[in-house]
Structure 1
Amino acid sequence: MESRRDGTSPTARILVDNDTGIDDALALAYLAACDHVELVAVTSTPGNVAVEQVAANNRALLDLCGRPDVPVLIGAREPLRIPLVTTPETHGPQGVGYAELPAPSSASHGTEVGAADDAVDFWIEAARAAPGELTALLTAPLTNFALALRREPRLPWLLKGAVIMGGSFNYQGNTTPTAEWNTHVDPHAAHEVYAAYGAAAAAGLAADQLPVVCALEATERFEMPPEVVTRLAAAAGCEAAELVRPGDPEGLRSRSSDPLVRYLSDALRFYFEFHRHYDQGYIAHVHDYFAAGVAAGTLEYRARPAVVDVETDSPLLIGTTVADYRGLWGRPANARVVAWNDPEAGFAELVDRLGAHARRLRHGE
């Protein structure tokens, strides 16, 4: 079993593909707070909301985080073969809960707001220009990545590695009884991605270039209580305590003087309320933050090699991910599935890193 933590590593150059999304937003804000992380680009995939809204969320959040230099691009407009289903009940109509962000500057992020940019070509060109240097962080349906692999089958060799938030292995799904959301939105894309890595593994791809898969059994261990928001505000140096409590009226908005704390508090409050509506308690599963920490090399994890495949035909099981850990299919491993992580240390890292960044932004540092 692989065990990894690269917190003292040099610069991590990351290509992010997301569908922002409350937990995507938390992950992106965290990466923007990491001094050792270079955000090469943020590409937008339809998922939690339509792709134009995803891109707008990404641009506005990066502006708020002091990163207007990061390119934000759009790729696919819909899944490969099935209609898009979004989740306003989970993430709100704009994808970021109760949070409100100003419209991003049209001069920021290297492109006009709303432009139909080709994220897929950008990924391929970036990987070709810096072979072995870029890590792909995929916290959305795998549509854009599947399209990139179609155009450039050598992408698994060109990338340093990939981190995928998606799937559910021997664990209850969060969209159907067996399927996780990202994979269920575009199961055909996920199937193509794992098939491409299977072909690459058979052709000799190095084990450390196989994707690290952060599935629900790992990400749901990152069960954020509202006290983490209070700790974050304190770490940011906010004078007033930021209290998000189960007894508060639903829809209550933050009055924090810190713009980033206020944004995250309002987004996460919606997420706490959603989880309570579904009898999970006043908590938030921050799936994508854990995946971001894996990509950044700041969070500890252990992973097992496996052959991963995705069901695409059965109406009952579509989007279900299956992992063969014992070699029963007779195929080489095409993924590394996370089997252990440390949520307590992960939340401490989040509070320290993001709190310090919010403080620097507020003081213009």
Structure 2
Amino acid sequence: MNEASRPVPRNPSTAPVSLLVDCDTGIDDALALAYLAGQRHVELVAVTATPGNVDADQVARNTLAVLELCGRGDVPVAIGARRPLEVPLVTTPETHGPQGIGYAELPPPRRAPEERDAVGLWIDAARARPGELTALVTAPLTNFALALRAEPRLPELFAGVVLMGGAYNHQGNTTPTAEWNTHVDPHAAAEVFAAFAGQPVDRLPIVCALETTERIEMRPEHVAALAAAAGCAEPELLRPEDPEGTRSRASRPLVRHVSDMLRFYFEFHRLYDQGYVAHIHDVFAAAVAAGTARCATRAASVHVETAPGRLRGTTVADFRGLWGEPPSARIVSANHPAEVFSDVVRSLGALAAARG
């Protein structure tokens, strides 16, 4: 094992951080946005929409609605690409619901998306604040790839980059070998990793892949703890024996909507024999970007398979330097789910209580 591939620990911090977020707001993206809205040390500079779980327009509507629900209607939201770079768009109504947010019925957003394009927004923000902004992408990497085409200096302009995607030493969740985000737009993922190859190790993107994000397994008891932390009038019980589609009656609107999102996600995971649980991948990536999650990373050169066939979207990491190529990512190799959930319950509970 070379020095770059050794696990490097990252300890939690509440130092101020300014985030540019790109998402395809499904259930776990929505929870990630709510989590970030409850972090006082986090500045949400802008949130941009990439098609994935739903189409780009629905992503923007969901994003605006979630931000307004969390009292962050001031955050700019912009739409970028409307399809992957080279392959047709595939969405996931079976996973996240027709609107992308499960059973939740959020109030329609009062604002419309920004008129400006998401890619231009990212580039202008990075140029205006060099070395200050961290990019968090919980979606397919389409917008990020387009931004890198237009401004190849982004790896030097960003303070850091955190990505949710890929599966390296783990079964895929879309095909046997591919994770959802990289499968939706493998060409964009390949371009992003190529753009970072050869950067100093501390500037490589931190990648939260399935081997660690599927450990962030939310259960009904976490929802009950969230409701208690929010001061809900009654216990919030999501029981496997409840009829499918049962709606929450929680007295706190944020808890009620989160519960309705998660019930759909629990039912989906159960349908695929994973239990009455929900893998909230994007919340972990958000916590890493916010600096609040303790984890370890290993540097590697990443290959993304783009050729048609069964392996399209598969990600392969060379931790040992066998390809003779410089690292292009730091892949999270260890995390601490109990700590993440403790923070999520505290943060979302406090935000829900404050919102009334």
| TM score, norm. by length of structure 2 | 0.97
DSSP 3-state at the match of 1:168? coil
| 1:69 alignment partner in structure 2 | 74
Report matched runs for 1:129-208 at 5 Å: 129-198=128-197, 201=198, 205-208=199-202
Residue from 276, 284, 293 that aligns with 2:278: 284
Structure 1: distance between partners of 2:331 and 2:123: 25
| 1:232 alignment partner in structure 2 | 226
Structure 2: distance between partners of 1:6 and 1:226: 26
| % identical equivalent positions | 66
Matched, 1:49 2:64: no
* Alpha-carbon offset, residue 316 of structure 1: 1.5
DSSP 3-state at the match of 1:3? strand
Report matched runs for 1:74-153 at 5 Å: 74-106=79-111, 113=112, 117-153=116-152
Q: Is the 8 A contact 2:103 2:263 kept in 1?
A: yes
* Alpha-carbon offset, residue 264 of structure 1: 0.2
CA RMSD of aligned residues (A): 0.9
| 2:14 alignment partner in structure 1 | 8
Structure 1: distance between partners of 2:275 and 2:31: 20
Aligned length: 350
Matched, 1:258 2:252: yes
* Alpha-carbon offset, residue 332 of structure 1: 1.1
* Alpha-carbon offset, residue 256 of structure 1: 0.8
Structure 2: distance between partners of 1:235 and 1:209: 37
Structure 2: distance between partners of 1:86 and 1:225: 25
Runs of 4 or more, structure 1, over 2 Å off, are 114-117
Report matched runs for 1:281-320 at 5 Å: 281-320=275-314
Residue from 339, 350, 354 that aligns with 1:345: 339
DSSP 3-state at the match of 1:246? coil
| 1:34 alignment partner in structure 2 | 39
Structure 2: distance between partners of 1:310 and 1:294: 23
Residue from 330, 353, 357 that aligns with 2:351: 357
| TM score, norm. by length of structure 1 | 0.95
Structure 2: distance between partners of 1:103 and 1:250: 24
* Alpha-carbon offset, residue 360 of structure 1: 1.1
Gaps of at least 5 residues in structure 1 are 107-112
Structure 1: distance between partners of 2:64 and 2:81: 17
| 1:109 alignment partner in structure 2 | none
| 1:110 alignment partner in structure 2 | none
Give CA-to-partner distance per residue, 1:194-216, whole Å, 9 cap, x none. Answer: 01111xx2xxx332211000000
Give CA-to-partner distance per residue, 1:310-364, whole Å, 9 cap, x none. Answer: 00014120000000000011111110000000001110110011101111111xx
Structure 2: distance between partners of 1:41 and 1:209: 21
Structure 2: distance between partners of 1:243 and 1:316: 41
- Using the TM superposition, name which of 230-239 and 116-125 deviates more: 116-125
DSSP 3-state at the match of 1:23? helix
Structure 2: distance between partners of 1:281 and 1:254: 20
Give CA-to-partner distance per residue, 1:124-152, whole Å, 9 cap, x none. Answer: 00000111111110000000000000000
